[in-house]
Amino acid sequence: MEIKVPYANITDKKQGYEAAKKLIPEVIAKFNVSADVKNDDSATMLTAKGTGFEAKIQFNETEAVVSVDLGFLLKPFKGKILETIEKQIKKVV
């Protein structure tokens, strides 16, 4: 599943990417899971991988694209997880 979050508060994808690098650990902490977060500065993309899930946030010219891949046990929470991530991303973009 993927959601697109258009930029409302920023004009440059690098601005959103830099702000999100600080925000993503907080979002992951809300779900009380551990994840390995990797930043790809050249592609302006963040990835978080943990037990049973993988999330990617790609910052494009006009929007951030969030994709989440969940394992079997987390699928029932997909809507809530996407809603929380979208809400947090909207704060910075």
Q: Identify the CA nearest to 65 among candidates 41, 77, 47, 39.
A: 47
According to the model, what pLDDT value does residue 69 have?
Answer: 92
According to the model, what pLDDT value does residue 25 have?
Answer: 80
Neighbours of 55 (CB within 10 A): 22
Chain segment 12-45, per-residue pLDDT in tens:
899 989 988 888 887 777 777 788 999 999 999 9
With beta carbons less than 8 A apart as the criterion, state whether 53 and 33 touch: yes
What mean pLDDT, rounded, does the chain reach? 88
Asked whether the predicted pLDDT for residue 1 surpasses 90, the reply is no
- Enter the tokens of residue 57: 């946030």
Q: How far apart are CA 16 and CA 8, in angstroms?
A: 10
Mean pLDDT of 74-81: 85
What is the reported pTM?
0.86
